[in-house]
Amino acid sequence: MKNVAIIMGGYSSEYKISLTSGSVVYENLNKEKYNVYPVHIFKEKWVCVKNNIEFPIDKSDFSTSINGKKIAFDVVFNAIHGTPGEDGLMQAYLELLNIPQTSCDYYQAALTFNKRDLLSVLKPYGIKTATSHYLNLGDEINVDEILKTVGLPCFVKPNKSGSSFGISKVKTREEFMPAIEVAYKEDNEIIIESFLDGTEVSVGVINFNGETRVLPITEIVSENDFFDYEAKYLGKSQEITPARISEELKLKIEQVAKKAYEVLKMKGFSRSEFIIVNDEPHMLEMNTVPGLTNGSILPQQAIEAGIPLPILFENAIEQALQR
């Protein structure tokens, strides 16, 4: 039996969601096929947690000792949203140790975690995006010039953050600088995007049995002004799977999502967000460690596609072991 470490937690605002995702993976993996070990990754400690007892992780080889017995891991299931699991740090570390893991490689993780760089790479392939402006902490901010470029309303977002932390919808000039301050609390880089007035959809793409597979598309209908943290995690939205769109539009979105996945040489899970304007999908971002809780979008899509969660998670492990 293979020893599987499920890494969860992380260093970002998303650590609680990650702990829930990791717990769902743990509950659904077949314990008769795998020896499964939950591993909590925090800045102050890396520990394997068994029966509510913490066993320190040896960072030199990513192993642990339980009751005097050394446990080495054959594969890592990555359930860390945000840093260090979604930005390439854990992927690079595990690659150096020659331990396979379920998410994409370190370069793809770093690229997709940076919205600005991701969209810049995909644009030459014909993938449409919102009009945008970028700021780094310390840059001079010419509010009038920025708003002339992106217009109002617009969105102010941390460039490297997930779960909608630090995002503001700006409707007036007066709201702009407070939104900048909120975003800088999450990241030292900011992306400011024009408002796209259209239907928001979320598209899961996975490697399933060695082939790229686009999952049923989810339509996002937020009770709030946009798909913010409350809408995403506190039930303030409707997530309709499959989306209420035409077959023609469905095929177009699937083609764009698959193209992005394959152009980037992705592996494992991805979930991309699009706004449909005039029947054209515009990409907002790609998540490479999407939420895996029972209420999360990608698990909903997998179930709609006839893939139960135990099969979804087992496939991720087996694909990682075959790389």
pLDDT tens by residue, 130-160: 999 999 999 999 999 999 999 999 999 999 8
Task: Name the β-bridge partners of 283.
Answer: 129, 274
Give SS3 for 109.
helix
What whole-number distance in Å separates Cα of residue 245 and Cα of residue 186?
34
Q: Residue 40: which H helix or E strand, with range?
A: strand 34-41
Q: Which residue in 110, 228, 133 sits closest to 180, CA to CA?
A: 133
- At 208, list the tokens: 């399933």
Q: Rounded distance, CA 106 to CA 256, Å?
A: 23
Q: Beta strand 63-66 with 199-208: parallel, antiparallel or unpaired? A: unpaired
* Cα–Cα dist 103/78, whole Å: 6
By the 8 A CB rule, do 274 and 281 touch?
Answer: yes
pLDDT at position 160 is 84
pLDDT at residue number 175: 97
Q: Is 19 helix (H, G, I), strand (E, B) or coil?
A: helix
**319 phi and psi, to 5 degrees?**
-65, -40
Give the pLDDT score at 13: 84
- Helix 309-322 and helix 15-28, axial crossing angle in degrees, nearest 10: 90
- d(C-alpha 318, C-alpha 33), whole Å: 11
* Alpha carbon 86 to its chain's center: 7
Predicted confidence at residue 234, as pLDDT, reads 53
Position 231 scores a pLDDT of 45
- CB atoms under 10 Å from CB of 161, counted, come to 22
Q: How many Å apart are CA 157 and CA 184, to the nearest integer?
A: 9
Bridge-based pairing state of the strands 34-41 and 2-9: parallel
For residues 42 and 74, is the Cβ–Cβ distance under 8 A? no
Integer CA distances (angstroms), 154 to 112, 229, 279, 281, 285, in order: 22, 18, 21, 18, 16
CB 94 within 8 A of CB 76: yes
- What pLDDT sits at residue 111? 97
CA distance 70 to 166: 42
Choose among 322, 292, 269: nearest CA to 104: 269
For 224, the 3-state DSSP assignment is coil
Structural contact between residues 48 and 71, judged by C-beta atoms closer than 8 angstroms: yes
Query: Does residue 76 contact residue 5 with C-beta atoms inside 8 Å?
Result: yes
Contacts 24+ apart (CB under 8 A), 220-227: 225/169, 226/155, 226/167, 226/169, 227/164, 227/200, 227/273
| Residue ranges in the chain modelled with pLDDT below 50 | 163, 227-228, 231-233
